[in-house]
Amino acid sequence: MQTENNALENNTVDHSDQQETNQEKTITPIIRLKNVDVFQQKILILSDVSFSINRGEFVYVVGRTGSGKSNLLKLLYGDIETVSGEIEVVGYNMHKIKNKNIQRLRRKLGIVFQDYQLLQDRSVYENLKFVAKVTGWKNKKLCDERIGEVLEMIDLKTKGHKMPHQLSGGEQQRVCIARALINNPDIILADEPTGNLDPESSYDIFHLFKQIAEKGTAVLVATHDFLIINQIPSRVLQIRDGKVFE
């Protein structure tokens, strides 16, 4: 049950938020940081961080293992408290955000981790249906249509009946991306999503992220795979010596 709870907390979106206004949809930039310090248990990890990301951008965050990539993403989805500087994520002021609004923020995000966190006792379809059901999808026909859409997006439409253990690592990660996409989030945050994958599968996952961004969703991917950046060029934020550089 812990796996289910983690998956829901970090990867699901309340379907009621599909009714958000056009004004909310046109917020630009969708992520903005200015002079932000990032702490973990009172230890300064990153200092004076400033950058912005617009809707539809595909952005890499690169750096060595332990450089602070994961902490930066945690800051964006409210797992680390903002104590200095200015930071806005999908219209929320993270310096002033209240606890009750953290879940509302996460309803606008899709989060993909290195470890897949799939429910091993359920098929691909049932994994996605579980997420859809607990986030407010009550119309079975519409739910099935959406699941079909995201499975087609990840090129696994014929494998909805498969169990997770019957899929390759790359296919399991694609299912995780589909889970994050069910509710059409404004931002995808991915933390080392290809850390357990071979180079060919890694390329396929990053190419998929690029396609998602081209459809209007901002995608921010933390990785230490510098090779992939040469294969699929895009904007890069580099973490070095506790600083973030363009």
The DSSP line for 109-165 is EEEE-SS----TTS-HHHHHHHHHHHTT---HHHHHHHHHHHHHHTT-GGGTTS-GG
Confidence of residue 2 (pLDDT cuts 50, 70, 90): very low
Confidence of residue 19 (pLDDT cuts 50, 70, 90): very low
In the predicted model, what is the mean pLDDT of residues 177-197? 92
Question: What pLDDT digit, counting tens, does each position of 198-222 carry?
Answer: 999 999 999 999 999 999 999 999 9
pTM for the complete prediction? 0.84
Q: Which two tokens stand for residue 4?
A: 């289910």
What distance in Å separates the CA atoms of residue 156 and residue 178, rounded to the nearest whole number?
10
Question: What pLDDT digit, counting tens, does each position of 83-104 carry?
Answer: 899 999 999 999 889 888 988 8
Q: Which two tokens stand for residue 74?
A: 């945690």
What distance in Å separates the CA atoms of residue 164 and residue 221, rounded to the nearest whole number?
23
In the predicted model, what is the mean pLDDT of residues 181-206? 92
pLDDT of residue 72: 96
In the predicted model, what is the mean pLDDT of residues 70-92? 94
Map out the domains of the chain with their CATH numbers.
2-22+54-82+106-245 (3.40.50.300)
Query: Does the pLDDT at position 17 exceed 80?
Result: no
Phi then psi for 105, rounded to 5 degrees?
Answer: -60, -50
Residue 197, Cβ neighbours under 10 Å: how many? 19
Residue 201 · residue 231 · CB < 8 Å: no
